[in-house]
Structure 1
Amino acid sequence: MEQTIRNQRVFFNNNNTKSLSFRVLALKKLKRLLQENEEILNNAIYKDFKKSSFDNYTNELSLLYKDIDEATKHLKKWASIKKVTTNLVNFPSKSYIIPEPLGVTLIIGAWNYPYQLSFAPAIAAIAAGNTILLKPSELPINTSNSIAKLINENFDPSFFKVIEGGIPETTTLLNQKFDKIFFTGSVPVGKIVYQAAAKNLTPVTLELGGKSPTIVTENCDLKTTVRRLMWSKYLNAGQTCIAPDYVYVHETIKENFLKECKKEIKASNYNFENGNYVQIIDEKNHTRLVNLIDKEKIYFGGKHNITNRYIEPTILKNVKDEDEIMKDEIFGPILPVLSYTNLSEIIIKIKERPKPLSCYIFTNDNKTRKKILNEISFGSGAINEAIMQISNSNLPFGGVGQSGIGSYHGESGFKTFSHYKSILEKPNWLELNLKYFPHSKIKLKIIKFLMKLEF
């Protein structure tokens, strides 16, 4: 690891990644490799937790292709020098900002969308002109192996290298000096990464999680709401960082809401054979999730089988804020349903929790929409939709507070892996004596006047 990092630093310091043409060629090469190896990638992820080729393309690979296409199309603009206004105190001169790569970057991917959450930040890092050391999650081992083989057999390790392993390897990596660390995962591990980075004052982007709330008001379009909500909740068997974690539904429509949810789940027929459902990633998480299911509050579902790591799409009713399932992020196919009558009261409850990664609002009332958006802080969200905000690369994706630090996707990702170097350039044909000694009252008066004009 240490030698690889040293090699990458030499490669970077020799300005190999500074050329835009180098970056574009690397991005196009990555896309070609992904496309040519789709079948291998599909087989690997199916072996790990039965994700279908349909879901692998729609949830993961298609987003990566789009990221690469957008980066290659707009890279020249993103990397261009940005002219800015110069103040009068510095007359005559010009000011501009130069985007430059940070250097040697470490990207630690997550297991729930192992391709998308490993390669998306890597695409941004390449576009910005960095070298990359990628550590995919070890839980989906076949996926990790396929990522390592794809990259390590086709890229110069001094530029792009994959290192596999678990906690020991990750710990060793975090003890090294990087110019940027990008981590996707849980809040507890995010804190460990942040502490390790602090030793070297390394800038960090943390994409974490949290209990993302959903609010369903009495004037929503109920059938459409339920259809979109059920799809987003049970996609990837609920193992999605921006999945709706729990739902507050207005008391007046609660029973109809539950009935529609049950109907929609049955119609969707979630199972491995249909290719629209996946396994829980491992037995440890399966056991954790099963222990969260209060049998007395099951409205629908609840069946499970640890042999094939299956948990049926489950809805819990009459859930209270103090219940065990409301303490931490669920990250599985269990949906707690709580009711409310007073919107302001549940906003207070949501705000008492750590700031969530996402929030979803289903309503046709503009006043309600504005109130929630104005009063609740969260990373990203949607109105009358869920999860789909991630598919728009013009929307920066990231958390706030405990749900994360920083954002990426599209130009936001380029900025995350760049430093913006500010430059003041002054000619030699004129030199004002205002700043030089000896000082005088008239000089101070002129300076104060100029400063007033600027502000």
Structure 2
Amino acid sequence: MTEQDIIKTIKRQNEYFESGAAQSRKARLESLETLEKAINIYKNDLCEALKTDLGKSEVESLMSELSLTFAEIRWLKKRLRSLMRKKHVRTPIVQFAAKSFRSPSPYGTVLIISPWNYPVLLTLEPLSDALAAGNTVILKPSAYAPETSRVLKEMIEEFFDPELVAVVTGGRSENKALLHQRFDKIFFTGSKSVGKEVMRCAAEHLTPVTLELGGKSPCIVEKSAKIGLAAKRIVFGKFLNCGQTCVAPDYILCDRNIKDELVVAIKKEIVFQFGAEPLENLNYGKIVNEKHFDRLKSLINAEKIAFGGKCDRETLKIEPTVLVDITWDDAVMEDEVFGPLLPILTYKNLDEAFSVIEKNPRPLALYCFTENKKVKADVLKKCRFGGGCINDTVVHLATSEMPFGGVGESGIGSYHGRAGFEEFSHTRSIVDKKTWIDMPMRYQPYTEKKLKILKWLLK
């Protein structure tokens, strides 16, 4: 799509939004139902596309992409009336007589830029929130997941008029053309570096943005943790989608007294979940492209491999790899890993662990394995992060009942469920003033009597 085509599409969507056609409850509900129907019809094609782009098994595609998208759509459908309803609030006595309420209003035409690692979920889940909020939407899926982008475009064009939802595919030139246009809201999921560029471009038009980024999410394993269970859940969360998950445990911080036991348990769990030869496991995914494969391979220090390390450039597969005796000087700790490499660092005491976490950029997620109630409380009190789990990994994002988002360098804003609806809405504050009475206090002239009344009210 050329820049002129993009401009025409935005103009048509603006006109459609201004007509009010997308804003009624009936229209929003129909859009959600249409999206649900479309995904159901295309689910096999989407699973095959995910297999092509990322090597995802059908189970993983259904579990971590399609089922979560369906859950969000159904949550929104069930609660749409409540979400759209104005919320009455208390009116101060000085504004007598009036009613005050908060009223959600759609932004207008929004741009959703989605990443390659969960190209279905992270395109269609924010789309469902945007449609529920009454917006028109332009989707820009990632060029790094070309087959999934192709299927998404085909699906959306079959089921939606471009005035309501349009898909722009392509790479940097299309991204640049889109970001130079004026939108009413931009929702971006991806890397921190691209997020900065999105924010710079949005600032030209003072467009509000939501940034869902990432970072080095720590996983604390405290000495009271159930080591076997911790290993099982860490291995699941870390190597899901071949480690290409923004909320994957990026590194482990464990008590130095339990490190050896934990490493043994993690090795055992990798073999149990992926087999003795993970590269031959058809249900184990692949790295998205050669660029990222080479980047990850360069981070593996052969002298520090406790498990794994094998790579196959032809299939773009890297074994689940455990790295020990890691320090912050190692290359693997310079930036978010975003792959199947698990560095393990140790600490002497928890204050040291908290200090390490706090002196680094705010992570998108934090995980802590412990049976100690005080440790649980201290983690929440002393560490700043987007969200996370105690005694599990990644599952905190798998619900529409809680907002998901980052803080600081890991993101701006949040979505899922009510938070998603609100992220794509502007909440207007309205005072509905009655006309049968008009209190004279606020009007000039300001007499001595009015001054005395004001002072009395301020007591």
User: TM bucket by the smaller chain?
Assistant: over 0.9
1:376 aligns with 2:383: yes
Distance 2:430 2:127 in 1: 28
Letter in 2 for 1:388: V
Equivalent position of 1:407 in the other structure? 414
Mapping for residues 413-452 of structure 1, pairs under 5 Å: 413-452=420-459
Query: Paired residue for 1:391?
Result: 398
Instruction: Give the corresponding residue for 2:235.
Output: 230
1:14 paired with 2:44, answer: no
- CA distance in 1 between counterparts of 2:455 and 2:325 reads 66
Given candidates 146, 150, 166, the residue that maps to 2:151 is: 146
Matched to 2:143, the amino acid is E
Match of 1:284 among 271, 280, 291: 291
CA–CA distance in structure 1, aligned partners of residues 279 and 89 of structure 2 = 55
RMSD over aligned Cα atoms? 1.0
Quickly say closer, same or farther: Cα 1:104–1:448, change in 2 above 3 A. farther
2:350 alignment partner in structure 1: 343
Amino acid at match of 2:293: H
Match of 1:353 among 349, 360, 385: 360
Match of 2:374 in 1: 367
* Distance across 1 between alignment mates of 2:355 and 2:163: 51
Greater Cα shift, 96-105 or 271-280: 271-280
Separation of aligned partners in 1, 2:161 and 2:72: 22
* Residue 8 of structure 2 corresponds to residue 3 of structure 1: yes
Which of the residues 333, 338, 342 maps onto 1:331? 338
| Cross-structure match for 1:310 | 317
Partner of 2:3: none
The one-letter code matched in structure 2 to 1:285 is H
Paired residues of 1:396 and 1:410 also in contact (CA < 8 A): yes
List alignment gaps of at least 5 residues for structure 2. 1-5
Q: CA 1:441 to 1:190, structure 2 compared with 1: closer, same or farther past 3 Å?
A: same
Q: Which residue number corresponds to residue 126 of structure 1? A: 131
- Matching residue's letter, 1:141: P
Q: Distance in 2 between matches of 1:264 and 1:439?
A: 77
Matched position secondary structure for 1:8: helix
How big is the shift at 1:274? Answer: 4.4
Deviates more, 1:331-340 or 1:273-282: 273-282
Q: Which structure 1 residue ranges, 5 or more long, are not aligned?
A: none
> Which residue, 91, 115, 118 being the options, matches 1:113?
118
Q: Which amino acid aligns with 1:216?
A: V
Q: Determine the C-alpha separation between the residues in 2 that align with 1:281 and 1:148.
A: 20
Q: Over residues 400-444 of structure 1, what are the superposed CA-to-partner deviations in whole Å (9 max), with x where a residue is unaligned?
A: 000000000001000000011111111111111111111123212
Maintained 8 Å contact 1:213/1:359: yes
Q: Is 2:105–2:428's contact at 8 Å kept on the other side of the alignment?
A: yes
Measure how far apart 1:239 and its partner are: 0.2
2:104 partner SS: strand
Kindly provide the CA deviation profile for residues 249-308 of structure 1, in whole angstroms up to 9, marking residues without a partner as x: 111111010001111111112547645321100000000000001111000000001111
SS at match of 1:4: helix
**TM norm structure 1:** 0.98
Say if 2:224 is the partner of 1:219.
yes
Counterpart in 2 of 1:43?
48
Please list the CA deviations of residues 57-98 of structure 1 after superposition, one character each: whole Å capped at 9, or x if unmatched.
000000010001000000100110100000011011110111
Alpha-carbon distance in structure 1 between the residues aligned to 2:452 and 2:76: 50
Shift of residue 321, structure 1, vs aligned partner: 2.0
Query: How far apart are the structure 1 equivalents of 2:9 and 2:360?
Result: 42
Q: How does 1:165-244 map to 2 (within 5 A)?
A: 165-244=170-249
Q: Do the aligned partners of 1:213 and 1:248 also contact (CA within 8 Å) in 2?
A: yes
Q: Which amino acid aligns with 1:96?
A: F
**Identity %, equivalent residues:** 43
3-state DSSP of counterpart to 1:360: strand
Aligned-residue offset at 1:123: 0.5
Q: Sort the Cα spacing of 1:386 and 1:448 in 2 relative to 1 into closer, same or farther, 3 A.
A: farther
| Number of residue pairs the alignment of both structures matches | 452
Task: Kindly indicate whether the alpha-carbon contact (under 8 Å) linking 1:89 and 1:447 is maintained by their aligned counterparts in 2.
Answer: no
Partner of 1:300: 307
**Quick check: 441-450 or 226-235, which moved more?**
441-450
**Is 1:235–1:276's contact at 8 Å kept on the other side of the alignment?**
no
Contact 2:256 2:347 in 1 (8 A): yes
Match of 1:247 in 2: 252
User: Could you say what secondary structure the match of 1:252 adopts?
Assistant: coil
Cα shift at 1:144: 0.4
> Is the Cα–Cα contact under 8 Å of residues 366 and 388 in structure 2 kept in the other structure?
yes
